[in-house]
Structure 1
């Protein structure tokens, strides 16, 4: 499995630097010179490896230069790309309030009253923050119990997701009115 450690927000300058929104507590390790990162566009099935040539802080983000990206046009083509590392290389998360994507995927999602909503299929990383992509349980919202569930996007914020229990395999959500409604 893979863990998102950064997202390309835009290009910077004319020499191919990437402005990266950091999604790791260890940017100095993940984006160190010589580090190899897997890059993948959101929802793409294929990925490519990138070797970090340099990284420096700039206005709360990182400016990263990777081998093979030498101009603004090449850097612009990578806008929205996520950088990943293999989770097998990571120690388990010790903070009960922080989660790796792979620790959330596959967990059951329930409302505060115990109603089954569905299962987390993916954690999406957007400029606005993280979203849980949940495959609705068959029969959720009065749909035909035999019908595969629709995708529900739930913002992964404490106000909406008050409880995550990896041990029980359950995420409890308290959505605002309308969030889970069918369109």
Structure 2
């Protein structure tokens, strides 16, 4: 299970910038030694100081900037059974959600979870649909009211536009514009004195 990532370097003496994905960012070092995604390399990290949402850390055996640069982008993993169970019923390990089927409240199958993302506006569930497209669903109580890890299921109630193919959304937008007079933009612009505004 991924618990962190080396995202950069600091200075000339081998310090790295480490992003922790653990609930308490400071406990990542408690899981030493960590491994890469393949489990072939092992890393022992020592946290030095916090900087914004990152840690400056020393990696055992890394003593200069060149060696630290070679670790940039490495994802740090730990065996799932070494992690404590979530403390709250609304807390989940991302890895426990990957692969779970997603259905509507009436039981209609939507797809299955392939990833979770945080683009800065909150967590998003990436769901693969039966037609192999993937869509992003806001991971909120309103959209995803039930997450049952033990039962192996997720219930979601997305609006239809969240699941629509991009071209379908474009057609719907064009239809809405036509209904509201958007199709006359060009002629209105020609007689508007060139102020550039459109309805």
Q: TM-score, normalised by structure 1?
A: 0.69
Q: Select the residue among 103, 127, 150 that pairs with 2:96.
A: 103
Separation in 1, partners of 2:63, 2:158 = 45
Return closer, same or farther for 1:54/1:108 CA change in 2, 3 Å cut-off: same
Separation in 2, partners of 1:151, 1:64 = 36
Q: Select the residue among 162, 166, 175 that pairs with 1:179.
A: 162
Unaligned runs of 5+ in 2: 167-199
2:147 equivalent to 1:161: no
Return closer, same or farther for 1:176/1:120 CA change in 2, 3 Å cut-off: same
5 Å matches for 1:48-59? 48-59=41-52
Q: Select the residue among 126, 134, 150 that pairs with 2:133.
A: 150
**Larger-Rg structure:** 2
What's 2:78 paired with? 85
Unaligned runs of 5+ in 1: 138-142, 144-148
Task: Report SS of the residue matched to 2:2.
Answer: strand
What's 1:140 paired with? none
How far off its partner does 1:155 sit? 4.8
Pick the structure with more helix per residue.
Answer: 2
Residue deviations 1:45-73, cap 9 Å, x none? Answer: 57522111443222232111212433334
What's 1:9 paired with? 7
Runs of 4+, deviation exceeding 6 Å: none
5 Å matches for 1:35-74? 35-40=32-37, 48-74=41-67
Pick the structure with more strand per residue.
Answer: 1
Separation in 2, partners of 1:106, 1:27 = 26
Which has the bigger relative contact order, CA under 8 A and spacing at least 6? 1
What's 2:188 paired with? none
Superposition RMSD on alpha carbons, in Å? 3.1
Q: Is the 8 A contact 1:31 1:55 kept in 2?
A: no
